[in-house]
Amino acid sequence: MIWKRSAVLRFYSVCGLLLQAAASKNKVKGSQGQFPLTQNVTVVEGGTAILTCRVDQNDNTSLQWSNPAQQTLYFDDKKALRDNRIELVRASWHELSISVSDVSLSDEGQYTCSLFTMPVKTSKAYLTVLGVPEKPQISGFSSPVMEGDLMQLTCKTSGSKPAADIRWFKNDKEIKDVKYLKEEDANRKTFTVSSTLDFRVDRSDDGVAVICRVDHESLNATPQVAMQVLEIHYTPSVKIIPSTPFPQEGQPLILTCESKGKPLPEPVLWTKDGGELPDPDRMVVSGRELNILFLNKTDNGTYRCEATNTIGQSSAEYVLIVHDPNALAGQTGPDHALIGGIVAVVVFVTLCSIFLLGRYLARHKGTYLTNEAKGAEDAPDADTAIINAEGSQVNAEEKKEYFI
């Protein structure tokens, strides 16, 4: 089988040389403008690569594709290598295109297109094969984790070429402070990549999804992800909520003990002033609620709710003061004494203001001259009185009257 393949290769090579020799005299001048053109190709492992060789000016000169081992793949439209993955796409005097399907990492390398002029002209095309990273795996989580513990999660993926990038997200927010490690696989072509995330957990992390994302150019912008949902155990938190802010004598009261914890707290324990509830007939515990029927003054005191789970216990207190309904009604009605005092003050200030304003106007009323002059009243007629009065205007400044 091997000698047959070698014979075929020698046959195509000899044919190429004979064609060159036969046409060399007439084509040497015409081949000056002939040159094969190729392009590098990148393909994902398992995909199909198309290798194309073009010649803009070709006067019936043969084209040939050969692999990195210098094995002829196609000589014009004739297949030279027995490989079912390699097929002819197009063969003409201006183009020779072939396809390689189910590409593996071993197919990577430099492929050669030869144009059999005199001398032979070649063009190189490098085939790059991308190694697809495996689905990532997260390790290091053991459920449950106690609040305050240090957690270390590791995300790992293998088979990437070039090395993949790993990113961490928690609550859709990227975590930057991580460790990154890259190792070459046994085939010396692909890589195993791992990333380690360290953080201290608290109760807010319970139920949170931590995501490891692998980015690589072979994934076509669709990253691979692995997710770990955290389970955090923590002691209960307790809060007492009354049914009314102003408990009144004769009315009922419900105290609700709101407790949160993981594992879920056991049924709560109610006490009053450090002891048992004094009146079980009126003080009924139902689940997390304490119902007190018909409040009275003897119910005043400190009520305590205690919640416990396997991690620990916690409690909250509520000081009950029973109010007199009549006293509350009086406090909520209008204060007539206060309103009367305010009105009296307003009236007093108004009267004082009026009195002071009158005195001010009276003091600044001004002066005036009398129309009477000495001797005016003794004048025999009006003309004489006017003449006598005009003569007396010099002394007008002396006739001033003041009013207080």
Structure tokens at 201: 């957990």
38 and 63 inside one domain:
yes
121 and 54 inside one domain:
yes
Count up the domains in the chain and report the number: 3
Of residues 267 and 69, more confidence is placed in 69
Residue 201 lies in a domain: yes
Look at residues 280, 297, 318 and tell me which one is the last residue of a structural domain.
318
Q: Please list the helix, strand and coil fractions of the chain in percent, rounded to the nearest 5, in that order.
A: 25, 40, 35
Look at residues 173, 196, 229 and tell me which one is the last residue of a structural domain.
229
Query: Is the backbone of residue 148 left (phi > 0), alpha (psi -120 to 50) or beta?
Result: left
Residue 329 lies in a domain: no
216 and 261 inside one domain:
no
Pairing of strands 253-262, 289-292: antiparallel
Residue 103 lies in a domain: yes
153 and 214 inside one domain:
yes
d(CA 52, CA 295): 94
d(CA 196, CA 188): 24
Residue 44 lies in a domain: yes
Give the three-state DSSP class for 297: helix
Length of the chain: 404
CB atoms within 10 A of CB 128: 13
d(CA 304, CA 319): 9
124 and 40 inside one domain:
yes
Indicate which CATH number applies to the domain containing 274: 2.60.40.10
Query: What would the pLDDT profile of 391-402 be if each residue is shown by its tens digit?
Result: 444 444 444 444
Pairing of strands 150-160, 283-286: unpaired
Residue 401 lies in a domain: no
| Residue owning tokens 């190189």 | 124
86 and 42 inside one domain:
yes
153 and 73 inside one domain:
no
d(CA 183, CA 191): 6
247 and 268 inside one domain:
yes
d(CA 194, CA 168): 11
Look at residues 318, 347, 372 and tell me which one is the last residue of a structural domain.
318
d(CA 255, CA 304): 10
Query: What would the pLDDT profile of 83-117 be if each residue is shown by its tens digit?
Result: 999 999 999 999 999 999 999 999 999 999 999 99
Query: What would the pLDDT profile of 296-344 be if each residue is shown by its tens digit?
Result: 999 999 999 999 999 999 999 999 999 998 775 555 555 666 777 788 8
Split at pLDDT 50, 70, 90, the class of 251 is very high
203 and 188 inside one domain:
yes
Query: What would the pLDDT profile of 170-229 be if each residue is shown by its tens digit?
Result: 988 999 999 999 999 999 999 999 999 999 999 999 999 999 999 999 998 789 999 999
DSSP 316-338: EEEEE-PBPHHHHHHHHS--HHH
What radius of gyration do the chain's Cα atoms show?
Answer: 54
193 and 238 inside one domain:
no
Give the three-state DSSP class for 11: helix
Residue 123 lies in a domain: yes
Q: pLDDT at residue 19 above 60?
A: no
* Structural domain boundaries enclosing 287: 234-318
222 and 260 inside one domain:
no
